[in-house]
Amino acid sequence: MKKAIVCALAALALVAAAQPLEERAKALLERKRETTAAAPGVTFETQLGVKQESSLLDVTLYFRYGETNLLGAVGAKLDMRREETVAQSIVEALLTGPDAAHDRLSGLFPQGTSVISVQSEGDTAFVTLNQAFLGIPDGAPADWEDLDAWQTEATLRRRLAYESIVLALTEDGRYQRVQLYVAGGDDEVPRRIPLYWFDQSVTDANVMLAACARDEQAMLTPKSALKLMLGAWQKQDWEALYDFLLREEETPTLSGFETQMRETNVQLVSFECTGGTVSLDGQRATVVLDAAIHSDEGGDAQIVRESVSLVRQNDNWCMALTTLESLMIRD
């Protein structure tokens, strides 16, 4: 999955812009000045292009799911009474991060990151952030630049942060691509970002990040969620699997769950799953699973074309403990 996302970014980096980049960046800066001067006359209705009865706008935001390389979706309402464009409000909400109710999700932007401007040209949104976006990752130690693990983590966070902007702004089809810039301040010409900030395999500083289209491989879908659950089971990583359990009154504590899994002692040997289908209300999903399991008591067993039910909780996909037990304990 990481390779697919990186390849998509690398391919886009080779696309030549129709207009010289320096001219486009300067044009964006000038347009920002004009928009700022005209802001008091911009209404909620004209920003959306449709008549709205309320200033609250329903949007979908994306944040990192746990410690994975996937983005979980969150439904949110944005108050559009402020003198900002819809797109800028969405990006600022991403920078703010998820609320406390979504405890499985975390923000991706370094502290101090702010939006300088969000402009558009055709179906492409041009987002300019301040230089803090390329700064020290939250929680990093003082010597993080000398640590390979933290270099990898910082690169992953930047890529996911960019993906979260692309997913959120292309959600309703208003935009098809997003180009990301950085600038030192409001009056500085936006600069393109070298691709190596998002992909450690790139060493050429002349290869720049280009406009990126929507990439659903970065999203926590029913299939990707189930694959993470099954991968955790296969590795006997019960803490990671516990993060995906549906929270119900009878859900055990983490220590209780770990004890139960060790006592059950069922190994997942291999698995394959389909893309899955989502219910009309969007709250349930069914993924078809083929798998091989092994236990000391039952020996080898096959799970053949079995429907696995997932439930949406706090806007992300979870599995009930009873569903997991039914996969482990075969008749």
Q: At what angle do helices 254-264 and 321-328 cross, to 10 degrees?
A: 10
Q: 181, 159, 178, 161: which is closest to 170 by C-alpha? A: 178
* Per-residue pLDDT at 16: 37
User: Model's pTM, two decimal places?
Assistant: 0.80
Domain spans, the chain: 2-218, 222-328
Residue among 197, 78, 92, 178 nearest 135 (CA): 197
CATH class belonging to 222-328: alpha beta
Query: How far lies 294's CA from each of 166, 235, 289, 322, in Å?
Result: 42, 13, 16, 19
Query: How does strand 299-313 pair with strand 316-318?
Result: antiparallel
C-alpha count within 13 angstroms, C-beta hemisphere, residue 251: 16
pLDDT (0 to 100) of residue 258: 97
Structural contact between residues 103 and 83, judged by C-beta atoms closer than 8 angstroms: no
pLDDT truncated to tens, each residue of the chain (331 aa)?
Answer: 554 454 455 444 444 343 455 565 556 556 555 544 444 333 444 444 444 444 788 899 999 998 899 999 998 988 865 556 889 999 999 999 999 888 889 999 999 999 999 999 999 999 999 999 999 999 999 999 999 999 999 999 999 999 999 999 999 888 999 999 999 877 788 999 999 999 999 999 999 999 999 998 999 999 999 999 999 999 999 999 999 999 998 899 999 999 999 999 999 999 999 999 999 998 999 999 999 999 988 899 999 999 999 999 887 899 999 999 999 987 6
Residue 209 in contact with residue 180, Cβ under 8 Å? yes
